[in-house]
Amino acid sequence: MNELALIRKNLFRRKLRAGLMIVSILIAFLIFGVLAAFDRAFNAGEDTAAADRLVTVNKINFTLPMPIAYYDRIRAIEGVRQATYANWFGGYFQDPKNLVIAFAVEPNTYPELYVREIDIAADARASFVRERTSALIGESLAKKWGWKVGDRIPLSSNIFSQKNGSKTWDLVIAGVFSSKTQRDTNFMIFQYDYFNETRSFGKDTIGWLVLQTTSPAANDRVAKAIDSMFANSSDETSTDTEKAFNKAFAAQLGNIALIVLLVVGAAFVTILMIVGNTMVMTVRERTREIGVLKALGFSQGRILRLILGESVALALLGGIPGIILATLATLGLRVSLAQFVPGLMMTPDIVFLAIALMLILGILTGTIPAINAMRLKIAEALGRS
């Protein structure tokens, strides 16, 4: 009988106990997988941020607007290669529950600044610039609602209203853009001028400015120049790298990484204690059998491999199904939470990390019992009842 067969038979000798430990490990990795996917989704903006891009917002809070006149002044600063601006719309489709991530943007410069991330067909971009009521939508958003080029979409806002009292803007889809990177495409953009001319309040203000510098080395100098320019004004600014801005934005929703660490850490420590204690008991129950194996010529190394193999197999049997269930859970949650957590998915790096943790869990819980079994003397083992 080979070692794999021995490991399998020993592992399932007490089926109920083995089953309960596998379920415990499964739950731990299910929690880990889902929370890690949420953590990745919340921090995806940091991974896709460009090193040479800066974001300028109101110094008090990024939800407060700034005068659009800042745009031309910032664009003229030495070290700024190009700049654009945008405004959060707070959109929904037909029903307030059907949230749509929408930005009112400058139609010429916004696609240029994000050309490395989003792919827009030339004809779609030309139509977007030409038609004031046009909009560009991401692939994910188009698939979700079944929208296509030429459709007229009544997009409402839960923040803004028009001068005529209506809260709905009619938009015509000029094109569908895709992602060149891992950037989520569950959003849409439309012309700022159309939005600005028709809204009832906040005219000639913008939410934020995005600018590309001549090089990442110029970031600090440009950021200081911008903030110094508007110091002591009624709308002071705060300029930082795109990565820092995305990180600060994600932090508004809470420290997801800390939550993942605490929840998963607590689950792992608990399971480590349970599985470790169970493995010690299991080896103790088989003391005489281990003595017999040694008497038959099993080396200390082989005994060590059998015990460690059993604990690692236990971790993998519970962990792998847990990650599979976590993948299925994120697929289900991705649709229902698309508006709040775009880009929710199980990625290969999470899976690889989970497998590494399974191996670590198996080794940690099996090391002490394996060493004890390896060091056990034949006479002592056979003499125990």
Q: Are residues 110 and 205 in the same domain?
A: yes
Ranking 77-81, 139-143, 303-307 by mean pLDDT, the lowest is 303-307
Q: Which of 67-71, 103-107, 240-244, 294-298 has the lowest mean pLDDT?
A: 294-298
Evaluate whether residue 245 is within a structural domain. Answer: no
Q: What is the pLDDT of residue 13?
A: 72
Residues 70 and 202 in one domain: yes
Is 327 a member of any domain? yes
270 & 160 share domain: no
pLDDT at 84: 96
The helix or strand, by DSSP H or E, that contains position 83, with its residue range, turns out to be strand 80-88
Please tell me the predicted confidence (pLDDT) of residue 195.
96
C-alpha 349/C-alpha 355 separation (Å) is 10
Question: Is 129's pLDDT higher than 60?
Answer: yes
Q: Do 208 and 299 have their domain in common?
A: no
pLDDT at 236 over 60: yes
Pair 306, 365 in one domain? yes
Q: How confident is the model at residue 230 (pLDDT cuts 50, 70, 90)?
A: very high
Say yes or no: 207 and 310 in one domain.
Answer: no
| One domain for residues 175 and 70 | yes
Verify that 294 and 266 share a domain, yes or no: yes
| 97-102 own/partner pairs: CB under 8 Å, 24+ apart | 99/339, 99/340, 100/141, 100/155, 100/187, 100/188, 100/339, 101/141, 101/186, 101/187, 101/188, 101/339, 101/342, 102/135, 102/155, 102/187, 102/188, 102/189, 102/190
Q: Kindly report which listed range (150-154, 308-312, 326-330, 381-385) carries the lowest average pLDDT score.
A: 381-385
pLDDT of residue 138: 92
- Number of domains observed in the structure of the chain: 2
Nearest Cα neighbor of 54 from 169, 294, 253, 224 is 224
- Are residues 298 and 161 part of one domain? no
* Averaged pLDDT, 134-155: 93
Task: Looking at the structure, tell me whether residues 198 and 280 fall in a common domain.
Answer: no
Q: Within a domain: residue 370?
A: yes
Strand runs (DSSP E) across 116-263, as ranges?
118-119, 134-138, 152-157, 168-179, 188-191, 205-206, 208-213, 237-241
Burial (0-12, 13-18, 19+ Cβ within 10 Å), 241: buried
- Mean pLDDT value across the chain: 83
CA–CA distance, 30 with 327 (Å, rounded to integer): 9
pLDDT in tens, 149-182: 999 999 999 999 999 999 999 999 999 999 887 6
Q: Are residues 76 and 117 in the same domain?
A: yes
Domain extent at residue 316: 3-44+254-383
| Per-residue pLDDT at 297 | 65
Listed range (85-89, 211-215, 327-331) with the worst mean pLDDT: 327-331
Residue type present at position 5: A
Choosing from 178, 199, 234, the residue where a domain stops is 234
Give the model's pLDDT for residue 379: 61
Chosen domain end from 234, 267, 283: 234
**Identity of the highest mean pLDDT range in 8-22, 91-105, 371-385:** 91-105
pLDDT at 209 over 60: yes
Which of 72-81, 140-149, 222-231, 298-307 has the least mean pLDDT?
298-307
